[in-house]
Amino acid sequence: MMKLNFLFFCLLSIMYTVAIAVREHKNGWAVRNRYYTDSGSQQTFVDKNLVFNRSGIINKWRFYSRKAGIINLQVWRPESENGCRMTLVNQTTVDVDDNFGRLQIITLPEDQRIRVKKGDLIGWNNPGIGVITWNTDWSSNDQHHCFKWGLKPEINHVYDLNHDITWGPSRVYSIMAIFTVIVPSTLEIATRITNISALDGSPFSKATAWMPG
């Protein structure tokens, strides 16, 4: 048997490095104290302006409250391009326990985070009176909400939210989702060859080759 006369100790190494970049994104209106809260109960809203522009995972909600009560912070998925037929993807239920105006930051445990797809929408459901503050944007008349009274929506069910409301002037609610997007990116592929001897004993010259990915 031919003796393998490799005279090296650090030799051929091929390294392929992939970085996982976690980037944080926001979908929502500025979260601040606004003038109004909704007085009706059992109302469901979907804000057609609050579109997720990419897929990701919600790990945090922000909203501004000024009433005590329960609020369901929701993600809806349209079943038609322009209508109000939608599937409730998931929701986070929050019990606000005071009537003081305050910023609410809800950090979700890992097992309660919500996966969203590009094109999904933010919505909310008030089992009782409204919790989230809102005001009007007098510069715009093109904000649309899908809306329904008396609904107790369940996850993974499809609903016809049959009132497509165009507020005039536009109505802006203090609600926002913070979501992360995982982006794989190749940093570089590096091939390094150092002092390798061939089977016949003749050494390769020292060389280092870098091949960016």
pLDDT in tens, 25-45: 999 999 999 989 998 888 999
Strand-pair partners of 197: 203
Q: Which of 121, 113, 107, 115 is nearest to 53 (CA)?
A: 121
Whole-number Cα distances in Å, 70 to 24, 92, 127, 130: 27, 10, 6, 8
User: Above 80 in pLDDT, residue 147?
Assistant: yes
Residues in CB range of 161: below 8 A, 6 or more apart: 44, 46, 84, 85, 86, 146, 147, 148, 151
Q: Which of 13, 9, 106 is nearest to 62 (CA)?
A: 106
Per-residue pLDDT tens over the stretch 73-96? 999 999 987 789 999 999 999 999
Domains recognised in the chain with CATH numbers: 22-184 (2.60.120)
User: Above 90 in pLDDT, residue 140?
Assistant: no
Average pLDDT, the chain: 78
Per-residue pLDDT band for 112 (boundaries 50, 70, 90) equals very high
Can the peptide bond before residue 78 be classed as cis, meaning omega within 30 degrees of 0? no
User: Above 50 in pLDDT, residue 196?
Assistant: no
pLDDT of residue 139: 67
Cα 163 to Cα 151: distance, rounded to the nearest angstrom:
13
Contact 210, 63 (CB under 8 A): no
Total-model pTM? 0.75
Cα 194 to Cα 111: distance, rounded to the nearest angstrom:
48
Cα 51 to Cα 48: distance, rounded to the nearest angstrom:
7
Per-residue pLDDT band for 160 (boundaries 50, 70, 90) equals very high
| DSSP 8-state symbol, 143 | -
User: Above 80 in pLDDT, residue 119?
Assistant: yes
β 43-51/163-166 pair status: unpaired
Cα 169 to Cα 140: distance, rounded to the nearest angstrom:
6
